[in-house]
Structure 1
Amino acid sequence: MPRSLAGDLTDPEMAQPYMKKDDDDSDIEYSPFFGIEKGAVLQEARAFHDPQLDARRCSQVITKLLYLINQGESFTKVEATEVFFAVTKLFQSNDAGLRRLVYLMIKELSPSSDEVFIVTSSLMKDMNSKTDMYRANAIRVLCRIIDGNLLTQIERYLKQAIVDKNPVVASAALVSGIHLLQANPEIVKRWSNEVQEAVQSRAALVQFHGLALLHQTRQNDRLAVSKLVSSLTRGSVRSPLAQCLLIRYTSQVIRESSNTQSGDRPFFDYLESCLRHKAEMVILEAARKITEMDVTSRELAPAITVLQLFLSSSKPVLRFAAVRTLNKVAITRPLAVTNCNVDLESLMSDQNRSIATLAITTLLKTGNESSVDRLMKQITSFMSDISDEFKIVVIEAIRSLCLKFPLKYRSMMIFLSNSLREEGGFEYKKAIVDSIVTLIGAIPDAKEIGLLHLCEFIEDCEFTYLSSQILHFLGNEGPRTSDPSRYIRYIYNRVILENPTVRASAVSTLAKFGALVDELKV
Structure 2
Amino acid sequence: MAYASKKEEESGLSSYYNNKTTIIQEARVFNDSPISPRKCRALLTRIVYLLYVGETFGTQEATTLFFGTTKLFQHKDSALRQMVYLAIKELATTAEDVIMVTSSIMKDMQPNSEVIYRPNAIRALCRIIDPSMAQGVERFFKAAIVDRTPSISSAALVSSYHLFPQAKDVVRRWVNEVQEAVNAKTSGSFFGGASSGSYLNFGSSGNSNSGYQPIPSSSYITQYHALGLLYLIRQQDRMAVTKMIQQLGGGKSGAGTTLKNAMALCMLIRYAAKVMEEDPNVQRQMVDLLEGWLRHKSDMVNFEAARAICEMKNVGPAQLTKSIAVLQLFLSSPKSVLKFAATRTLASLALSHPASVATCNVDLESLITDSNRSVATYAITTLLKTGNEASVDRLMKQITGFMSEISDEFKVIIVDAIRSLCLKFPLKHASMLAFLSGVLRDEGGYDFKRAVVEAIFDMIKFIGECKEQALSHLCEFIEDCEFTKLSVRILHLLGAEGPKAPQPTKYIRFIYNRVVLENATVRAAAVSSLAKFGVNAVDAGLRRSIGVLLNRCLDDVDDEVRDRAAMFLRVLKEATLADAYIKEESVFSLAALESKLVAYVNDPDAIQTPFDATSIPKISRAQLAADATRPSTLDTIAVPSAKKTSASPPPPTAAETQSAYLQQLSEVPELASYGPVLNSSTKPVQLTETETEYQVTCVKHIFKEHVVFQFNVSNTLPDTVLEQVSVIMQPQTDSGLTEDFIIPVPSLASSTSPSIVYVSFTRDTPEEYTTASFQCILKFISKELDPSTGEPEEEGYEDEYQLEEVELSAGGDYIIPSYSTFSAEWDRLRSGATATETFSLGSMDSLKAACDSIIEVLNMEALGGTETPSSSSVHTMQLSGLVTGGGGKVLVRCRMTFAKGTGVTLELGVRAEKENACNLVLAAVGG
TM-score by length of 1: 0.90
Aligned equivalents of 1:490, 1:226: Cα separation in 2: 64
* Secondary structure class of the residue paired with 1:392: helix
Question: Could you tell me which residue of structure 1 aligns to residue 482 of structure 2?
Answer: 462
1:113–1:146 CA contact under 8 A, matched in 2: no
Question: Could you tell me which residue of structure 2 aligns to residue 214 of structure 1?
Answer: 230
Question: Could you tell me which residue of structure 2 aligns to residue 245 of structure 1?
Answer: 267
- AA partner of residue 265 (structure 2): Q
Aligned equivalents of 1:51, 1:508: Cα separation in 2: 81
Taking a change above 3 Å as real, the CA distance of residues 113 and 446 of structure 1, as seen in their structure-2 partners, is same
Aligned equivalents of 2:428, 2:68: Cα separation in 1: 71
Report which of the two has the higher share of strand: 2
Aligned equivalents of 1:238, 1:449: Cα separation in 2: 61
- AA partner of residue 286 (structure 2): F
Question: Could you tell me which residue of structure 2 aligns to residue 70 of structure 1?
Answer: 52
Taking a change above 3 Å as real, the CA distance of residues 245 and 520 of structure 1, as seen in their structure-2 partners, is same
Matched, 1:516 2:536: yes
2:59–2:95 CA contact under 8 A, matched in 1: no
Question: Could you tell me which residue of structure 2 aligns to residue 88 of structure 1?
Answer: 70
1:360-383 deviation line (CA, Å, top 9, x unaligned) = 101111111111111111111111
1:18–1:35 CA contact under 8 A, matched in 2: no
State the percentage of identical aligned residues.
53
* Secondary structure class of the residue paired with 1:187: helix
Taking a change above 3 Å as real, the CA distance of residues 99 and 472 of structure 1, as seen in their structure-2 partners, is farther
Aligned equivalents of 2:446, 2:390: Cα separation in 1: 33
Range moving further from structure 2, 247-256 or 334-343: 247-256
Question: Could you tell me which residue of structure 2 aligns to residue 303 of structure 1?
Answer: 323
1:18–1:34 CA contact under 8 A, matched in 2: no
Range moving further from structure 2, 48-57 or 351-360: 48-57
Aligned equivalents of 1:18, 1:446: Cα separation in 2: 58
Question: Could you tell me which residue of structure 1 aligns to residue 772 of structure 2?
Answer: none
Taking a change above 3 Å as real, the CA distance of residues 441 and 164 of structure 1, as seen in their structure-2 partners, is same
Taking a change above 3 Å as real, the CA distance of residues 175 and 49 of structure 1, as seen in their structure-2 partners, is same
Alpha-carbon shift at residue 290 of structure 1 (Å): 0.7
Aligned equivalents of 2:226, 2:421: Cα separation in 1: 46
Taking a change above 3 Å as real, the CA distance of residues 104 and 424 of structure 1, as seen in their structure-2 partners, is farther
Alignment of 1:9-24 (within 5 A): 13=4, 16=7, 19=10
Range moving further from structure 2, 246-255 or 177-186: 246-255
Aligned equivalents of 2:24, 2:418: Cα separation in 1: 56
Aligned equivalents of 2:417, 2:95: Cα separation in 1: 54
Taking a change above 3 Å as real, the CA distance of residues 351 and 505 of structure 1, as seen in their structure-2 partners, is same
Unaligned 5+ runs, structure 1: 1-9, 21-29
2:347–2:382 CA contact under 8 A, matched in 1: yes
Range moving further from structure 2, 159-168 or 41-50: 41-50
1:59–1:98 CA contact under 8 A, matched in 2: yes
Aligned equivalents of 1:181, 1:54: Cα separation in 2: 38
Which of the numbers 344, 350, 363 marks the counterpart of 1:343?
A: 363
Range moving further from structure 2, 480-489 or 324-333: 480-489
Matched, 1:186 2:169: yes
Question: Could you tell me which residue of structure 2 aligns to residue 7 of structure 1?
Answer: none
2:145–2:153 CA contact under 8 A, matched in 1: yes
1:219–1:225 CA contact under 8 A, matched in 2: yes
Aligned equivalents of 1:245, 1:337: Cα separation in 2: 26
2:93–2:127 CA contact under 8 A, matched in 1: no
Taking a change above 3 Å as real, the CA distance of residues 41 and 516 of structure 1, as seen in their structure-2 partners, is farther
Taking a change above 3 Å as real, the CA distance of residues 383 and 114 of structure 1, as seen in their structure-2 partners, is same
Alpha-carbon shift at residue 329 of structure 1 (Å): 0.6
1:84–1:111 CA contact under 8 A, matched in 2: no
Aligned equivalents of 1:448, 1:175: Cα separation in 2: 63
Alignment of 1:317-356 (within 5 A): 317-356=337-376
1:120-158 deviation line (CA, Å, top 9, x unaligned) = 223222323743332112211211232222222211111
Alpha-carbon shift at residue 441 of structure 1 (Å): 1.4
Aligned equivalents of 1:213, 1:35: Cα separation in 2: 37
Question: Could you tell me which residue of structure 1 aligns to residue 766 of structure 2?
Answer: none
1:255-309 deviation line (CA, Å, top 9, x unaligned) = 33353xxx44333211111111111111111111111113221111011011101
Unaligned 5+ runs, structure 2: 188-219, 251-255, 546-927
Question: Could you tell me which residue of structure 1 aligns to residue 160 of structure 2?
Answer: 177
* Secondary structure class of the residue paired with 1:238: coil
Matched, 1:50 2:32: yes
Aligned equivalents of 1:306, 1:101: Cα separation in 2: 45
2:73–2:81 CA contact under 8 A, matched in 1: yes
Question: Could you tell me which residue of structure 2 aligns to residue 497 of structure 1?
Answer: 517
Alpha-carbon shift at residue 32 of structure 1 (Å): 5.4
Matched, 1:223 2:221: no
Question: Could you tell me which residue of structure 2 aligns to residue 274 of structure 1?
Answer: 293
Taking a change above 3 Å as real, the CA distance of residues 98 and 448 of structure 1, as seen in their structure-2 partners, is farther
Instruction: Give the count of matched residue pairs.
Output: 501
- AA partner of residue 40 (structure 2): C
2:126–2:159 CA contact under 8 A, matched in 1: yes
1:136–1:173 CA contact under 8 A, matched in 2: yes
Alpha-carbon shift at residue 230 of structure 1 (Å): 2.2
Taking a change above 3 Å as real, the CA distance of residues 45 and 437 of structure 1, as seen in their structure-2 partners, is farther
Alpha-carbon shift at residue 34 of structure 1 (Å): 7.2
Which of the numbers 91, 102, 105 marks the counterpart of 1:120?
A: 102
1:18–1:33 CA contact under 8 A, matched in 2: no
* Secondary structure class of the residue paired with 1:19: helix
Alignment of 1:441-460 (within 5 A): 441-460=461-480
Aligned equivalents of 2:134, 2:390: Cα separation in 1: 68
Which of the numbers 270, 274, 278 marks the counterpart of 1:256?
A: 278
- AA partner of residue 140 (structure 1): R
2:66–2:95 CA contact under 8 A, matched in 1: no
Which of the numbers 310, 334, 346 marks the counterpart of 1:291?
A: 310
Range moving further from structure 2, 193-202 or 332-341: 193-202
2:62–2:95 CA contact under 8 A, matched in 1: no
1:14–1:32 CA contact under 8 A, matched in 2: no
Displaced runs of 4+ in structure 1, greater than 6 A?
none
Report which of the two has the higher share of helix: 1
Q: CA RMSD in A?
A: 2.2
Aligned equivalents of 2:513, 2:123: Cα separation in 1: 65
1:171–1:209 CA contact under 8 A, matched in 2: yes
Alignment of 1:472-487 (within 5 A): 472-487=492-507
Alpha-carbon shift at residue 252 of structure 1 (Å): 2.7
Alignment of 1:145-184 (within 5 A): 145-184=128-167
- AA partner of residue 39 (structure 2): R
Taking a change above 3 Å as real, the CA distance of residues 485 and 42 of structure 1, as seen in their structure-2 partners, is farther
Aligned equivalents of 1:456, 1:370: Cα separation in 2: 30
Question: Could you tell me which residue of structure 1 aligns to residue 118 of structure 2?
Answer: 135
- AA partner of residue 430 (structure 2): R
Taking a change above 3 Å as real, the CA distance of residues 508 and 98 of structure 1, as seen in their structure-2 partners, is farther
Question: Could you tell me which residue of structure 1 aligns to residue 410 of structure 2?
Answer: 390
TM-score by length of 2: 0.52
* Secondary structure class of the residue paired with 1:51: coil
Alpha-carbon shift at residue 114 of structure 1 (Å): 4.9
Question: Could you tell me which residue of structure 2 aligns to residue 5 of structure 1?
Answer: none
Higher gyration radius (CA): 2
Alignment of 1:346-425 (within 5 A): 346-425=366-445
- AA partner of residue 220 (structure 1): Q
Aligned equivalents of 1:439, 1:94: Cα separation in 2: 74
Aligned equivalents of 1:32, 1:95: Cα separation in 2: 28
